[in-house]
Structure 1
Amino acid sequence: MITSYQLDFGLIEIFEDYIKVTMNEGVTVSPKHNCVLLEMVEKHFKNKAFLYLTHRINSYAVDPTIYLETAKIENLIGFAVVSKDPRQKKQTKLEKAFFSKELRRFDNIESALQWKDKLLKKNHKPIF
Protein backbone atom coordinates (compact mmCIF):
# COMPACT_ATOMS: atom_id res chain seq x y z
CA MET A 1 0.00 0.00 0.00
CA ILE A 2 1.23 3.46 -0.88
CA THR A 3 -0.99 5.47 1.48
CA SER A 4 -4.44 5.56 3.04
CA TYR A 5 -7.06 8.15 3.96
CA GLN A 6 -9.56 7.73 6.80
CA LEU A 7 -12.44 9.99 5.76
CA ASP A 8 -15.82 10.63 7.37
CA PHE A 9 -17.51 8.18 4.98
CA GLY A 10 -14.88 5.43 4.88
CA LEU A 11 -11.32 4.24 4.36
CA ILE A 12 -9.53 4.80 1.06
CA GLU A 13 -6.37 2.81 0.43
CA ILE A 14 -4.09 3.62 -2.49
CA PHE A 15 -2.02 0.87 -4.11
CA GLU A 16 0.24 0.86 -7.16
CA ASP A 17 -2.54 0.18 -9.70
CA TYR A 18 -5.78 0.19 -7.74
CA ILE A 19 -7.76 2.08 -5.16
CA LYS A 20 -9.53 0.13 -2.43
CA VAL A 21 -12.50 1.74 -0.69
CA THR A 22 -14.28 0.45 2.41
CA MET A 23 -17.36 2.54 3.13
CA ASN A 24 -18.61 3.03 6.67
CA GLU A 25 -21.81 1.44 7.91
CA GLY A 26 -24.95 3.39 6.96
CA VAL A 27 -23.37 5.71 4.37
CA THR A 28 -25.26 6.59 1.19
CA VAL A 29 -22.77 6.86 -1.66
CA SER A 30 -23.81 9.73 -3.89
CA PRO A 31 -22.31 11.86 -6.67
CA LYS A 32 -20.61 14.13 -4.08
CA HIS A 33 -18.31 11.22 -3.28
CA ASN A 34 -17.09 11.32 -6.88
CA CYS A 35 -15.34 14.61 -6.12
CA VAL A 36 -13.17 12.82 -3.56
CA LEU A 37 -12.51 9.99 -6.01
CA LEU A 38 -11.48 12.46 -8.71
CA GLU A 39 -9.04 14.15 -6.30
CA MET A 40 -7.49 10.76 -5.47
CA VAL A 41 -7.22 9.82 -9.14
CA GLU A 42 -5.59 13.14 -10.00
CA LYS A 43 -3.13 12.84 -7.13
CA HIS A 44 -2.19 9.15 -7.37
CA PHE A 45 -3.14 7.84 -10.83
CA LYS A 46 -2.57 10.73 -13.21
CA ASN A 47 -2.21 9.22 -16.69
CA LYS A 48 -2.04 5.72 -15.23
CA ALA A 49 -4.57 2.91 -15.61
CA PHE A 50 -6.14 1.73 -12.35
CA LEU A 51 -8.98 -0.35 -10.90
CA TYR A 52 -11.53 0.76 -8.32
CA LEU A 53 -12.13 -1.96 -5.73
CA THR A 54 -14.94 -1.58 -3.22
CA HIS A 55 -14.72 -3.90 -0.23
CA ARG A 56 -18.32 -4.19 0.91
CA ILE A 57 -18.02 -5.46 4.46
CA ASN A 58 -20.44 -2.87 5.87
CA SER A 59 -24.06 -2.22 4.97
CA TYR A 60 -24.54 0.99 2.99
CA ALA A 61 -26.54 2.34 0.08
CA VAL A 62 -25.35 3.36 -3.38
CA ASP A 63 -27.09 5.84 -5.65
CA PRO A 64 -26.50 3.95 -8.94
CA THR A 65 -26.42 7.18 -10.98
CA ILE A 66 -22.97 7.78 -9.47
CA TYR A 67 -21.66 5.26 -12.00
CA LEU A 68 -22.61 7.50 -14.91
CA GLU A 69 -19.96 9.98 -13.74
CA THR A 70 -17.47 7.41 -12.48
CA ALA A 71 -17.37 5.75 -15.92
CA LYS A 72 -16.13 9.06 -17.37
CA ILE A 73 -12.79 8.68 -15.57
CA GLU A 74 -10.63 7.92 -18.58
CA ASN A 75 -7.92 5.84 -16.92
CA LEU A 76 -10.34 3.76 -14.81
CA ILE A 77 -10.22 0.26 -16.33
CA GLY A 78 -12.81 -1.42 -14.15
CA PHE A 79 -14.80 -1.62 -10.96
CA ALA A 80 -14.58 -4.61 -8.63
CA VAL A 81 -17.15 -5.27 -5.90
CA VAL A 82 -15.87 -7.62 -3.20
CA SER A 83 -18.58 -9.09 -0.99
CA LYS A 84 -19.75 -12.51 0.15
CA ASP A 85 -23.26 -11.17 0.77
CA PRO A 86 -25.60 -12.91 -1.72
CA ARG A 87 -27.71 -9.73 -1.98
CA GLN A 88 -24.74 -8.06 -3.61
CA LYS A 89 -25.23 -10.19 -6.73
CA LYS A 90 -28.51 -8.39 -7.44
CA GLN A 91 -27.09 -5.03 -6.38
CA THR A 92 -24.08 -5.43 -8.65
CA LYS A 93 -26.33 -6.27 -11.62
CA LEU A 94 -28.29 -3.08 -11.01
CA GLU A 95 -25.15 -0.98 -10.69
CA LYS A 96 -23.68 -2.52 -13.85
CA ALA A 97 -26.63 -1.15 -15.85
CA PHE A 98 -25.36 2.37 -15.05
CA PHE A 99 -21.66 1.69 -15.63
CA SER A 100 -20.27 1.57 -19.16
CA LYS A 101 -16.97 -0.08 -18.22
CA GLU A 102 -16.08 -3.47 -16.74
CA LEU A 103 -17.81 -4.17 -13.41
CA ARG A 104 -17.75 -7.50 -11.57
CA ARG A 105 -18.48 -8.91 -8.14
CA PHE A 106 -16.05 -11.21 -6.33
CA ASP A 107 -16.19 -13.22 -3.12
CA ASN A 108 -12.64 -12.25 -2.16
CA ILE A 109 -10.01 -9.60 -2.79
CA GLU A 110 -7.53 -12.07 -4.30
CA SER A 111 -9.92 -12.92 -7.16
CA ALA A 112 -10.62 -9.24 -7.77
CA LEU A 113 -6.90 -8.49 -7.95
CA GLN A 114 -6.34 -11.34 -10.43
CA TRP A 115 -9.07 -9.82 -12.59
CA LYS A 116 -7.39 -6.40 -12.25
CA ASP A 117 -4.13 -7.85 -13.56
CA LYS A 118 -5.95 -9.32 -16.59
CA LEU A 119 -7.65 -6.00 -17.29
CA LEU A 120 -4.38 -4.09 -17.00
CA LYS A 121 -2.72 -6.49 -19.41
CA LYS A 122 -5.66 -6.19 -21.84
CA ASN A 123 -5.73 -2.39 -21.58
CA HIS A 124 -1.99 -1.89 -21.84
CA LYS A 125 -1.19 0.29 -24.79
CA PRO A 126 2.46 0.30 -25.83
CA ILE A 127 4.11 3.70 -26.19
CA PHE A 128 6.09 4.17 -29.41
Structure 2
Amino acid sequence: MNFKKGLINLKMSLYHQPFAAIKAGTKKIEVRLADEKRSRLQVGDTIEFTDLDTSETICVKVLGLEKFATFKQLFAKYSGTIIGSPEDESIADLDRENQTIYSRAREMQYGALAIRIQIIK
Protein backbone atom coordinates (compact mmCIF):
# COMPACT_ATOMS: atom_id res chain seq x y z
CA MET A 1 0.00 0.00 0.00
CA ASN A 2 1.81 3.06 -1.22
CA PHE A 3 -0.72 5.72 -0.31
CA LYS A 4 -0.03 9.28 0.67
CA LYS A 5 -1.19 10.31 4.13
CA GLY A 6 -4.61 11.91 4.06
CA LEU A 7 -5.85 9.58 1.33
CA ILE A 8 -7.67 6.27 1.70
CA ASN A 9 -5.24 3.56 2.79
CA LEU A 10 -7.66 0.65 2.66
CA LYS A 11 -11.15 -0.08 1.38
CA MET A 12 -13.41 -2.61 3.12
CA SER A 13 -17.01 -3.69 2.73
CA LEU A 14 -19.49 -4.07 5.57
CA TYR A 15 -22.96 -5.47 6.00
CA HIS A 16 -25.59 -2.79 6.59
CA GLN A 17 -25.99 -3.20 10.38
CA PRO A 18 -22.30 -2.71 11.32
CA PHE A 19 -22.01 0.09 8.76
CA ALA A 20 -25.00 1.87 10.34
CA ALA A 21 -23.47 1.37 13.81
CA ILE A 22 -20.23 3.06 12.69
CA LYS A 23 -22.22 5.88 11.11
CA ALA A 24 -24.22 6.30 14.35
CA GLY A 25 -20.98 6.49 16.33
CA THR A 26 -21.66 3.44 18.52
CA LYS A 27 -19.34 0.96 16.81
CA LYS A 28 -15.81 2.10 17.56
CA ILE A 29 -13.91 -1.14 16.91
CA GLU A 30 -13.91 -3.06 13.65
CA VAL A 31 -13.10 -6.76 14.06
CA ARG A 32 -11.18 -8.39 11.23
CA LEU A 33 -8.86 -11.24 10.43
CA ALA A 34 -5.24 -10.08 10.86
CA ASP A 35 -4.39 -11.26 7.34
CA GLU A 36 -1.83 -9.76 4.96
CA LYS A 37 -4.16 -6.94 3.87
CA ARG A 38 -5.06 -5.78 7.39
CA SER A 39 -1.60 -6.37 8.88
CA ARG A 40 -0.30 -3.43 6.82
CA LEU A 41 -2.60 -1.00 8.60
CA GLN A 42 -0.98 1.58 10.85
CA VAL A 43 -2.33 4.05 13.37
CA GLY A 44 -3.26 7.21 11.47
CA ASP A 45 -4.26 5.37 8.30
CA THR A 46 -7.72 5.85 6.81
CA ILE A 47 -10.26 3.20 5.85
CA GLU A 48 -13.20 3.66 3.52
CA PHE A 49 -16.07 1.34 4.41
CA THR A 50 -18.77 0.60 1.82
CA ASP A 51 -22.23 -0.55 2.88
CA LEU A 52 -22.94 -3.74 0.91
CA ASP A 53 -26.68 -2.97 0.80
CA THR A 54 -26.68 0.72 -0.12
CA SER A 55 -23.17 1.32 -1.55
CA GLU A 56 -22.87 4.30 0.80
CA THR A 57 -19.33 4.97 1.99
CA ILE A 58 -17.89 6.33 5.21
CA CYS A 59 -14.27 7.19 6.01
CA VAL A 60 -12.63 6.50 9.33
CA LYS A 61 -9.24 7.09 10.86
CA VAL A 62 -7.37 4.23 12.56
CA LEU A 63 -6.76 5.22 16.19
CA GLY A 64 -5.39 1.90 17.42
CA LEU A 65 -4.60 -1.67 16.43
CA GLU A 66 -4.58 -4.65 18.74
CA LYS A 67 -3.79 -8.19 17.60
CA PHE A 68 -5.12 -11.32 19.31
CA ALA A 69 -4.30 -14.98 18.74
CA THR A 70 -8.01 -15.81 18.48
CA PHE A 71 -11.34 -14.07 18.05
CA LYS A 72 -12.45 -15.50 21.41
CA GLN A 73 -9.61 -13.59 23.08
CA LEU A 74 -10.63 -10.44 21.23
CA PHE A 75 -14.30 -10.90 22.22
CA ALA A 76 -13.26 -11.47 25.85
CA LYS A 77 -11.85 -7.93 25.84
CA TYR A 78 -14.26 -6.24 23.40
CA SER A 79 -17.93 -7.04 23.02
CA GLY A 80 -21.26 -5.26 22.83
CA THR A 81 -22.00 -2.05 20.99
CA ILE A 82 -18.33 -1.03 20.76
CA ILE A 83 -17.93 -3.82 18.17
CA GLY A 84 -21.44 -3.46 16.76
CA SER A 85 -23.08 -6.35 18.64
CA PRO A 86 -25.85 -6.53 21.22
CA GLU A 87 -24.61 -5.88 24.78
CA ASP A 88 -25.85 -9.26 26.04
CA GLU A 89 -24.33 -11.40 23.26
CA SER A 90 -22.02 -14.07 24.71
CA ILE A 91 -18.43 -14.69 23.66
CA ALA A 92 -19.50 -18.13 22.39
CA ASP A 93 -22.26 -16.58 20.26
CA LEU A 94 -19.91 -13.89 18.90
CA ASP A 95 -17.35 -16.56 18.04
CA ARG A 96 -19.95 -18.80 16.40
CA GLU A 97 -21.26 -15.92 14.24
CA ASN A 98 -17.71 -14.96 13.33
CA GLN A 99 -17.07 -18.50 12.06
CA THR A 100 -19.59 -17.84 9.29
CA ILE A 101 -17.17 -15.16 8.01
CA TYR A 102 -13.72 -16.53 8.86
CA SER A 103 -12.81 -20.21 9.08
CA ARG A 104 -11.07 -21.52 12.19
CA ALA A 105 -8.09 -22.49 10.00
CA ARG A 106 -7.67 -18.90 8.77
CA GLU A 107 -8.11 -17.60 12.31
CA MET A 108 -5.34 -19.92 13.54
CA GLN A 109 -3.12 -18.87 10.63
CA TYR A 110 -3.52 -15.10 10.99
CA GLY A 111 -5.12 -14.24 14.33
CA ALA A 112 -7.69 -11.53 15.00
CA LEU A 113 -7.40 -7.76 14.80
CA ALA A 114 -9.28 -5.08 16.72
CA ILE A 115 -9.16 -1.84 14.75
CA ARG A 116 -10.10 1.20 16.85
CA ILE A 117 -11.70 3.75 14.52
CA GLN A 118 -13.08 7.27 14.46
CA ILE A 119 -15.26 8.79 11.75
CA ILE A 120 -13.51 11.48 9.76
CA LYS A 121 -15.80 14.49 9.62
Would you say same fold, with TM above 0.5?
Answer: no
Normalising by structure 2, we get a TM-score of 0.29
Instruction: Name the TM-score, length of structure 1 as normaliser.
Output: 0.28
Structure having greater relative contact order (Cα 8 Å, sep ≥ 6): 2
